[in-house]
Amino acid sequence: MGALMNPARNVMPGGTSRRRLLRAAASGAGLALLGAGAVGCDDPEGGATRSEDSKPAAGAGSSAPADGQAPAPLWQVTTTAQTYGGDDSLVVVDGVVIAIGDPLVGWDAATGKKRWSREGVTVPGAPLLVGKGRLYLASGQYDGNIVALDPATGQEVWRSRLGNGFAHPRPVAVDDTAVYMVATIIENGVRTKTNVIAAIDSTSGKVLWREQRDTGTEENGISASVRGKTLVYTDFRKNLTVRDTVSGKQVWTQKLGKTNYDRFAVHEDLVIVSQGRDLRAFALADGAERWTLRTEEFTNFQPPAVLEGVLYVSDSSHAQWAVDPATGRKIWHRPVPADEQAAAAWQFARSGGTLFGATDLDEHGGVHAFDARTGTRRWTYNDKSGALDAWYVAAEGKRVFALHDRKLTALPAS
């Protein structure tokens, strides 16, 4: 099978995690196609099972316990989750929690009760993108459409396609104006090695613009974000690219030293990317490098996140960092104490003064809760299932939501 994975850190030599390999595989066109089933908003026979019913934990309360003790779940359900390492596999929107899977299910954030269920609307491993109160998906019917759903009801708002000359559209980013997507160009009924990036109006589904990307680029492996009138994305070809969201025209592109497999952070006029030992910040206007933060030798940074004006990131030595995203100045750096074991967090959410980190590795991991001001670990929740899947985390209000394998758990956030 080639290089062996380091079981202590759940990474391949060179810093590539198992989750990143799954994400790379899922973003390709090689996933087995699901059958195009009837789409309905009811709870179809054979869809939701009795094991999916909400299961409040005995003694579950509405507030978190004292430091050091993990809270009891407020509720827990078994889902149809098919994460495949995708960054946007779990979202919470206006009191509804949604995990990627088939059927796609909306769970009430307060009670864990099922609000709606729809079969055949998702593509395994594809992201759940939320913007302007809507949920955007690549059509699970593999018909070339991008679909907008109302997350409160699961009802379809619109579906749109670029045309017959394109295949495998994938939404990659969203803002209040548009959904941004990539698709393969088809000529004479055959897929080519060229692709386009396009924008679709998020209200009507109308195509606003489409631009062919440079020869040699791929539609797979794109991580993207929008800041104002700037669309910024990375890909498996080590490119960092910025486009104008109004016209679609490329503003600049440049090569990174390493492939970026995961999400990056955008803060004000900067894009911040993990590059092995280095965390690098580039100006959105012209690509000039503004600052670099380096971790210790033989250690790699995980994907960063900017939450409430602070950049949070972990590294492969399992240390946590808080950084000023404007300057790269370290706010705090918290290594794992010698007498403790804790897997590194790869995804973050924040509620009030608590920072939550979902780990790539289940052993000694799960969802960590940290003091956002100091980085001190307060507690770690683990469902004790032993599943090898990565953890995912999202927060809304006074609740934090954890997805692991097929278990979706609600925990008190404060």
Query: Can you say whether the dihedral through the CA atoms of 79, 82, 84, 89 is positive or negative?
Result: negative
The pLDDT value recorded for residue 192 is 87
The pLDDT value recorded for residue 63 is 54
Report the predicted TM-score, pTM, of the whole model to 2 decimal places: 0.85
Q: Flag whether 160 is in a domain.
A: yes
Integer Rg of the chain from CA: 21
Q: Flag whether 1 is in a domain.
A: no
Q: For residue 20, give the CATH number of its domain.
A: 2.130.10.10
Q: Flag whether 6 is in a domain.
A: no
Q: Flag whether 2 is in a domain.
A: no
Q: Flag whether 3 is in a domain.
A: no
- Residue 92 lies in domain: 11-412
The answer, yes or no, to whether the previous bond of 7 is cis (omega within 30 of 0) is: no
Q: Flag whether 29 is in a domain.
A: yes
10-residue mean pLDDT profile of the chain (414 residues): values are: 36 50 48 33 34 49 64 96 79 96 96 96 87 92 89 95 85 95 90 92 94 85 94 94 97 92 93 97 98 95 96 94 98 86 92 95 91 94 93 96 96 90
Q: Flag whether 363 is in a domain.
A: yes
The pLDDT value recorded for residue 76 is 98
Q: Flag whether 5 is in a domain.
A: no
Q: How many domains does the chain have?
A: 1
The pLDDT value recorded for residue 310 is 98
